[in-house]
């Protein structure tokens, strides 16, 4: 008799995550994942597939500054960020756009 499920009206699930900087919930694809690697380091995970505990930030400098200065990122990753990790993430954040002033 065919498939009883109709293909129209069914929405695809879009995973959402919360930015640790601004605390806004957004689609996962709009955020940048930072991962606490299994070897102890921290890195930006642009593939969103690296193993390890992850946390998310908006692609804006302001969110990264809040996440780093208030140690929200460290708490989300459940680890203390080293000075090297902090510097590496701060450097990456400088390549991101600033919030629009309009």
21 within some domain = yes
Using DSSP's 3-state secondary structure scheme, residue 54 falls into: strand
Phi, psi of 35 (to 5 degrees): -120, 140
99 Cβ contact list (under 8 Å, min separation 6): 60, 61, 62
5 within some domain = no
Give pLDDT, residue 9: 72
Q: What is the pLDDT of residues 42-91, one digit of tens each?
A: 999 999 999 999 999 999 999 999 999 999 999 999 999 999 999 999 99
CATH code of the domain in which 32 resides: 3.30.1230.10
24 within some domain = yes
pTM: 0.84
74 within some domain = yes
28 within some domain = yes
Percent of the chain with pLDDT over 90: 78
- The boundaries of the domain holding residue 84 are 17-93
What's the structural domain count of the chain? Answer: 1
Cα–Cα distances in Å, from 65 out to 21, 33, 73? 8, 15, 10
1 within some domain = no
Using DSSP's 3-state secondary structure scheme, residue 57 falls into: strand
């Amino acid at each position: 008799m065919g498939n009883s499920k109709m293909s129209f009206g069914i929405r695809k699930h879009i995973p959402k995550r919360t930015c640790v900087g601004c605390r806004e919930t957004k689609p996962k694809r709009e955020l940048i994942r930072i991962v606490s690697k299994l070897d102890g380091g921290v890195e930006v995970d642009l593939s969103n597939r690296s193993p390890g505990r992850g946390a998310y930030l908006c692609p804006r400098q302001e969110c990264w500054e809040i996440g780093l200065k208030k140690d929200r990122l460290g708490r989300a990753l459940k680890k203390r960020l080293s000075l090297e990790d902090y510097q590496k993430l701060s450097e990456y954040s400088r390549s991101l756009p600033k919030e629009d002033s309009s």
